[in-house]
């Protein structure tokens, strides 16, 4: 089943095209990994999918719903883009409680759900008499990622979820995403700069450069090498 369908999408600022995707389809259960250098358009693409910014041309359909026109896609979509998705003056429990309310989860459902992340939280998130604004960047990220998974959404959008996480949390997150997708059939849209993480976690890899998709490959044994090979020459060229 098609989850996300993009048609003739163009985003331009002052006539400078920052995103240009003629066509893209993401199927159910895919873990869609997006890589690209800074300014490649990753966050812009995610923001358009979430209808946070408008496209200059074209449209995004989420399970057949045009995101620009209806709000029904919000029922089955969870997202964490950056810290602006967190409410800084709440404690982690209060924040989860607030999101749970919006996602129509009962109190017991919520606590069962959160218990499942005890390992990922590493005892640093819940039960703290601390507001989210005073959390470290990594712990803030954990709160945001888990909140995005609340209510078992069918589509989850995570922008650079691995950034700011400590090494063992990165491994835990890889497993967490794969397990969650396997258990619920969730479609993930994930971007990251760490090629190893993204190559491990995703089932399909996309390289975005200057707003255009220049590589779109299913994951195989050799995907990581392929992607590394793509980015490496650029670095070496810049070094010289």
Partner 1 sequence: MNQNLFSLAWRETVRSAYWGKSIATNIGLGFLALYFSTSFLLLGFAIPEILTKDFPNDDPVSKFNSILLAYFAIDLIIRQLMQKLPTVSFKPLLLMNIHRPKIANYLMVRSVFNFFNVLPFFLLVPVTFSLVASTHSGMATAAWFLTIFILIFSNHFLAIYLKWRFNEAEYGFFILLAALAGLFTINHFGIVDLSGGMGKLLDLILVYPALSSVLVLLPVLFYFLNVRFLLSRMFINMLSGKQKEEKISDYSWLDRLGENGRFIALELKLIWRNKRPRSVAMMTIIMLFYGLLIYRSQPGHEVPGFAFILGGIIMVGMFSISYGQFFPAWHSNYFSMLMCQRLTMKQFLRSFYMLVTVISVVCYILTLPYAFLYPKIIYTHLSMLLYNLGVNIPIMFWVGMYSKKRLDLNQSTVMNYQGVSASQWLGALPLMVGPISLFYLFKLALGDTGSYVALGTLGFVGILFHSAIIDYFSKQYRKQKHQLIRNYKNS
193 phi and psi angles, rounded to 5 deg: -95, -20
Residues that bind partner 1 (CB under 8 A): 50-54, 71, 74-75, 77, 79, 81, 84-91, 94, 98-99, 101-103, 129-131, 133-134
Smallest distance from the beta carbon of 51 to partner 1, in angstroms? 8
Smallest distance from the beta carbon of 204 to partner 1, in angstroms? 23
- Using the minimum distance from each CB to partner 1, give the nearer residue, 72 or 209: 72
- Give the DSSP letter string of 10-66: EEEETTEEEEEEEEEEEETT-EEEEE--TTSSHHHHHHHHTTSS--SEEEEEETTEE
Smallest distance from the beta carbon of 101 to partner 1, in angstroms? 5
**Helix orientation angle between 137-148 and 92-102, rounded to the nearest 10 degrees:** 20
- Using the minimum distance from each CB to partner 1, give the nearer residue, 86 or 114: 86
Tokens standing for residue 215: 């590589």
Smallest distance from the beta carbon of 177 to partner 1, in angstroms? 19
- Using the minimum distance from each CB to partner 1, give the nearer residue, 72 or 226: 72
Helix (H, G, I), strand (E, B) or coil at 142: helix
Residues 6+ apart with CB under 8 A from 69: none
- Using the minimum distance from each CB to partner 1, give the nearer residue, 53 or 229: 53
């Amino acid at each position: 089943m098609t989850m996300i369908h993009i048609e003739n999408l163009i985003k331009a600022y002052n006539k400078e095209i920052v995103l240009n995707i003629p066509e893209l389809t993401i199927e159910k259960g895919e873990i869609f990994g997006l890589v690209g250098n800074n300014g490649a358009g990753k966050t812009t693409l995610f923001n358009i999918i979430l209808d946070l910014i408008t496209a200059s041309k074209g449209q995004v359909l989420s399970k057949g719903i045009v995101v620009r026109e209806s709000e029904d896609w919000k029922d089955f979509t969870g997202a964490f883009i950056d810290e602006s998705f967190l409410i800084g003056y709440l404690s982690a429990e209060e924040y989860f409680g607030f999101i749970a309310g919006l996602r129509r989860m009962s109190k017991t459902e919520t606590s069962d759900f959160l218990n499942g992340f005890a390992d990922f939280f590493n005892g640093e998130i819940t039960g703290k008499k601390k507001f989210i604004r005073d959390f470290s960047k990594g712990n803030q990220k954990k709160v945001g990622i888990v909140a995005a998974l609340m209510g078992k959404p069918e589509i989850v959008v995570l922008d650079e979820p691995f950034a700011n996480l400590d090494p063992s949390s990165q491994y835990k997150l890889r497993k967490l995403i794969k397990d969650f997708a396997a258990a619920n059939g969730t479609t993930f849209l994930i971007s990251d700069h760490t090629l190893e993480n993204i190559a491990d976690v995703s089932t399909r890899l996309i390289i975005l450069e200057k707003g255009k998709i220049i590589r779109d490959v299913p994951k195989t044994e050799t995907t990581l090498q392929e992607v590394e090979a793509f980015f490496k020459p650029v670095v070496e060229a810049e070094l010289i």
